[in-house]
Amino acid sequence: MIEIGDNVRITSGVRFVTHDGGVWVLRHKYSELSDIDLFGKIRIGNNVHIGFNAIIMPGVPIGDNCIIGCGTIVTHDIPANSIVVGVPGRVIESIGEYAAKHDDDFMHTKKMATDEKKAFVLGHLR
């Protein structure tokens, strides 16, 4: 029910919902619907980051190269190269816009040793 591409980061608290629990009400209200379920496959593209406590709802595809913000509830299709935040989730900018906006903020520390990185970061934060 969940298809995950390559290079996908799923952080703590992320939830994948592959069924619509709301049909419980319909089962009890309409006798002809007493045996229904509603499922939806979730598809996550390649090179995607899903932030803390995000919820991905049934049937939602997320394109390649996306960032899903912390606490976002994804309720609809997410196009490739998008940054998505909010409840419900909405596209706020492209990956290119995000990179350009933060170009002066990026610190090239990924390959540094822990002590070197700590000193560098503490020396540059104000």
**Pairwise CA distance, residues 78 & 55, whole Å:** 13
Whether the Cβ atoms of residue 90 and residue 84 lie closer than 8 Å to each other = yes
Tokens of 15: 């939830």
Query: Which of left, alpha, beta for 20 (phi over 0: left; psi -120 to 50: alpha)?
Result: beta
Average pLDDT of the chain is 96
The 10s digit of each residue's pLDDT in 101-116 is 999 989 999 999 999 9
pLDDT of residue 124: 86
* Prediction pTM value: 0.89
Cα torsion at 24, 30, 32, 35 (round to 10°)?
10
Determine which of 7-16, 24-33, 88-97, 115-124 has the lowest per-residue pLDDT on average.
Answer: 115-124
